[in-house]
Chains A and B, each alone.
Chain A
Amino acid sequence: MSTVAPSAVGAMRSPGEATRANNEVRLSVEQVSYAYSPNPTQAPLFTLEASSFQARAGEIVAILGPNASGKSTLLKLIAGTLEPLSGKVLLNGFPTHSLTARTRAQRIAMVQQESQLLFPARAWEFVLQGRHPHGRALRFESATDIAVARNALAQVGAAQLSDRWMAELSGGEKQRVILARALAQQPLLLLLDEPTLHLDIAAQVDLLHGLRHLAVENRYTVVVVTHELNLAGEYADQVVLIQRGRCLRVGPPGVVYQRELLEQVFQTPLSVELGPSGRPRVNVVADRESR
């Protein structure tokens, strides 16, 4: 069996997801397009064609696609750091690009690929940075800020890392602390750019499992760019499939994960079957010759 019937997916929803029909749309990406060219007189080097999807509170959306397909561009457009060429990204009805940096940071948290710290910092100092958009003037941390940061560390299971130096942490531990900083922002929208890169399989599952939990518990809308088809299939409510700047398909993994479609997008022989959890599972077909 290569595809899963939509009804079967519906039956597999967890209790947290079942209530989402009652929720209003929180993130609305409406016909957003973008073109990048180093020189305005030349044809653009890269274009993202009009893409649309919507997400509610508590939902996880995964953006999937091969390298250089425009995943990260779409994420930056959602984050509001890039201005769309046409269309708009609305967060609770407000275009994300027109928010001030400070307001945007109160509503949108971005977890990016690991960055180098210029001078050493402790994990708790790092997490408290997430309180910056909520503070005033010199931003001496209030008791609330400290409580929020503590809670954020606890939520990602990193309370014991609090006093460690960032440089001493392993890849998985660092990723947790970075996620905790994003949680400390108390955002409506949590964006993650390839968060599972450099993580071993246990840490990857841990992270996605944690995100699933957080999305439901804290009512975040989560958008994650990833290469991990199976983790996305397992944990995402919706997947957005992108190829060469074109948004090919949006929908639940069970609908989007069709063998022919994925093979065409990723240019490699694959098989899709139903996993034990009822979610689709993609396998690489190693022996190309036999096909």
Chain B
Amino acid sequence: MRPLTIQRLFLQCAALAGILFVVVIIALKAGAVEVSLFALGRDLIRVIVHHGSEIKSDYGLIVMNIRLPRILLGIFVGASLAVAGTGFQALLRNPLADPYVLGVSNGAALGAILALLVSPHLALLPAVADLLTPLGAFLGAAATIAAVYFLGRREGQIDSTTLLLGGVITGSFLAAIIMFLMTSETGSNLRGMAYWLMGNLSTSLQPSVYWILWLGFLVGAGAIYTTASDLNLLLSGEKEAMHLGVDLPRVRLVVYIAASLLTGLAVSVSGSIGYVGLLVPHVMRQIFGSDHRVLLPTAAFGGAIAVVIADTIGRTVVPPAELPVGAMTALAGAPLFIYLLRRRMA
């Protein structure tokens, strides 16, 4: 018997934070412009102590103003998608569930596009207009998961296969609407079809948006974490969980809303990046076990690491062109997905 202790949880998270740090350093170094480790360290410290203006060199500007924001965005997106995927997998009792497979990412993308289309017609303060895209993405995500959830129910029980099929079909339906909007609304500031359907981390964002993202992540991931112990019990079934004292309607509501928030925020700044929310929880489960009190935070770190690595490879593998990060995650993720699917059916 080795029950989880807070010390062990912290140790595991610290180890992953260390790996993430190393990955971030490598990602900062990698690229067309060579950066020495020494210069990198010096400039990082300058940024941290708010002396960024002292950075004179060109490469310092590239690293701090282009690479670092992109890496931070990757960390946010990866962590959000992985936590949302972990929540969906436990709640829907389906190891193949994730925001992308369930169509939730496309729902969020559609919501964000609609918000982008509508916002110029509304006389809004710039600060409020900035909020409109993430809000639209959140609403799109929440509406999609509600629809997929009802599609996936049969005789009052969630049916795994129906649910997945419902998600895939909803996702492709929404992708078609996105393509229609992108094609008919050429010229508006919509960032392009590949951005929304494949995912991309190259957007430059207002500093205020960063605050919204990280605040949203803390709220969403925190809310899901409060249900960690309930999610553990859901592994043996909804009825059993209720007999063990899980307030299922509350847990369901908290996880759906929080996971929609995380997906919505991530998609509103990066488009639909697939497979992160699906595969990262699986890998972490192999390493750290199925206990959601460990799984949720480790999946957040794992998602961040995975997305930063995928994006770094994507922007360095065929210079000077860049592969969208979603293409990289799909290249690695799709075969793994098929492996999991086949193992489950065996």
Contacts and interface: CB of A to CB of B under 8 A. Distances in A.
Contacts of B248: 101
Interface string A151-165: 000000000001100
A133 B244 CA distance: 6
A132 B233 CA distance: 8
A146 interface: yes
Interface string A110-146: 1010011111110011101110110101111100011
Nearest to B243: A110
6 contacts: A100-B247, A102-B245, A119-B95, A129-B233, A138-B228, A185-B244
Interface residues of B, number: 33
A72 B2 CA distance: 36
B246 A115 contact: no
4 closest A-B pairs by CB: A105-B245, A133-B245, A119-B290, A141-B3
B3 A128 contact: yes
Contact of B235 (A108, A118, A138, A146): A118
B4 A115 contact: no
Interface string B295-332: 00000000000000000000000000000000000000
Contacts of B293: 138, 140
A207 interface: no
B229 A149 contact: no
B306 to A, nearest CB: 20
B292 to A, nearest CB: 10
B4 A140 contact: yes
A125 B291 contact: yes
B242 to A, nearest CB: 6
Contact of B245 (A104, A112, A120, A150): A104
Given A118-B93, A140-B5, A163-B1, A130 B244 contact: yes
A28 interface: no
B185 interface: no
B180 to A, nearest CB: 38
Which of B4, B235, B242, B248 is most buried by chain A, counting CB atoms within 10 A of its CB? B235
